[in-house]
Amino acid sequence: MESYKSSLVLSFKLKDRNMTPADWAALAVSVTTLVGILAMGVKHLVKVYLSELKPNGGSSLKDKVNNLEEKVDLLTDLVKELLRK
């Protein structure tokens, strides 16, 4: 019970304490680091998603769409030929 009281008193004392310049600097470094990590993560995701929109020889989304487009055009031509007969 005594340790609970001492930790409670310590927590109240910490709340009443003013932040020193070193505390502010540590907070600023922490926030800057977190924002930097978040920005790097977003940059990586954008790079990965944009790479899917460029043709690369068969495995990108753009290549798949182009391949499907060619097949649809071929099928359209075949259907038109069949309807002419």
Which residues are CB-neighbours of 62 under 8 A, at least 6 positions away?
52, 53, 54, 55, 56
Q: What is the pLDDT of residue 29?
A: 97
Per-residue model confidence as pLDDT tens digits over 20-67: 889 899 999 999 999 999 999 999 999 999 988 888 888 888 889 999
**CA–CA dist 25, 31 (Å, integer):** 10
Here the tokens at position 42 are: 């977003």
- Quote the CA–CA distance of 6 and 10 in Å, as a whole number: 6
pLDDT for the residue numbered 1:
52
> What pLDDT shows up at residue 83?
92
CA distance 12 to 1: 17
Structural domain spans, the chain: 19-51, 55-85
Quick check: pTM over 0.85? Answer: no
Q: Is the pLDDT of residue 9 over 90?
A: no
